[in-house]
Amino acid sequence: MGYSHTTIDELGDEAFRKVRRALGITAFGANVIVLQPGVIGRPHYHEEQDELYFVHEGHAIFDLPDERIELGPGGLIHVESTTPRRVTNPGPEELVMLAVGAKDGYIGRDGAPASPKAFLRDVDSD
């Protein structure tokens, strides 16, 4: 059995905060990206891994080869590996995003019911 947890603040104060390392994740990449207002991220693409970005706070502009997309809190964007992208924080507030990267596709739904006895306490007892 295993799990781990942290907070964005516990990951440090850099722009690129390594969630994968902090939580011991090996199945996929995960990072928090924090950009101050007006910051233009470095243009990049990946050889193999697709990325999913989730905007937690602020606003992000994603410049892609054929389109410019603006996302606010709760916004999601999937970018295939070899698609060039650049992220900008238009401001006025800090931009906080979770970026998850992986390759080799979806493995299917593999969830199974867990016994209520698997938990420290019963939901009804709180």
- pLDDT tens string, the chain, 126 residues long: the values are 589 999 999 999 999 999 999 999 999 999 999 999 999 999 999 999 999 999 999 999 999 999 999 999 999 999 999 999 999 999 999 999 999 999 987 777 778 888 888 787 766 654
**Residue 123: its pLDDT value, please?**
66
**Residue 116: its pLDDT value, please?**
80
CA–CA distance from 104 to each of 8, 26, 46, 124 (Å)?
A: 28, 14, 14, 40
CA–CA distance from 7 to each of 20, 49, 56 (Å)?
A: 12, 25, 13
Q: Which CATH class is domain 29-104?
A: mainly beta
